[in-house]
Every structure is written in C-alpha cells, then in structure tokens.
Amino acid sequence: MKLLIINGPNLNFLGIREPSIYGDKNLETLIQWIKAETAQLDPSIHIEDFQSNYEGAIIDRLQQAYYDKVDGVVINPGAFTHYSYAILDAIHSVHIPTVEVHISDIHAREPFRQISVTKHARIQQVSGLGFNSYLEGIKVLMKHLKK
C-alpha cells in the first residue's frame, strides 16, 4: 500500500511558527515519526511525503499521485483548507481516497479557520490531535482501503 502525506503552506516552519499551537518539533521530525509509527501498524505500507507553500505544486503532486498509483492521501492543506477550490477540484479529479488532517483543532480557532472547502472531497477530517492527527488519518485510510 502506497500512501502520500502532503503538507501545505507554512508547515515547513513547524517548530518555529507558533509553537504554542503547533508544537516545537519540525517537519522532518514529523515525517520520521509518521514513517516509524506506520511501520509498526503495517510494515507493508510505503509512505511518501511532500510539502509546498505553493498551491499549484500541491495540485501537481496530487495529479502525479494518480499516475504513481498512490492508494491514499493524507493532506494537511494548511491555509489552503479555507479557500482553495483548486485543491478541492484536484482531490476530486484524482479519485484517490483522501483524509484531511490538522495539527490544531481548527474548529476551536478563529471563525475563518473553521471553514474547510476541501472537506467536500475527503473521506474524513482529523484535527486537534497534534502529530497524532496524521496517524489517525492513516488509520482511517487503512480501514477505508481494506473495505
């Protein structure tokens, strides 16, 4: 099983940007942790990761995932969550089961952060669990893909 983890804008600044909200660990630590935890769940799962601050690059990577025959996507669209109809359309177009994740609880934050336009293309959203949001997203995908 091949899963793709996509991180959107400013997630490359994990550990620097608002540590009181996002924690003090960086993106590399997050990805290493995801790979280690996923290997314990199921060693046959291959994790690929991608981060970009650019909407078009995220769309390009989603489209490439179609050709790469990725089985599932876990995406933290960052601020694109709240307004990127282009990413919504890309998720729809590739027909790959997708789980949206957020480190913070977006539903308990500013009103604009509580809106997710990308929710219409995903199978579930997981937020507010810190790095564990990603692991829970992977578990949701595993359950969905094994149906």
**Structure confidence by residue, pLDDT tens digits, 9-47:** 999 999 998 888 888 999 999 999 999 999 999 999 999
Query: What number is the average pLDDT over the span 88-110?
Result: 92
**What pLDDT is recorded for position 112?**
72
Q: Out of 22, 67, 83, 144, which one is annotated catalytic?
A: 22
Q: Out of 82, 95, 102, 107, which one is annotated catalytic?
A: 102
**What pLDDT is recorded for position 75?**
97
- The SS3 of residue 74 is strand
Catalytic site includes residue 95: no
Indicate if the pLDDT at residue 111 is higher than 80: no
Backbone angles phi, psi at 100, to 5 degrees: -90, 130
Catalytic site includes residue 22: yes
125 contacts 99 by C-beta, under 8 angstroms:
yes
Query: What number is the average pLDDT over the span 129-136?
Result: 97
**What pLDDT is recorded for position 99?**
97
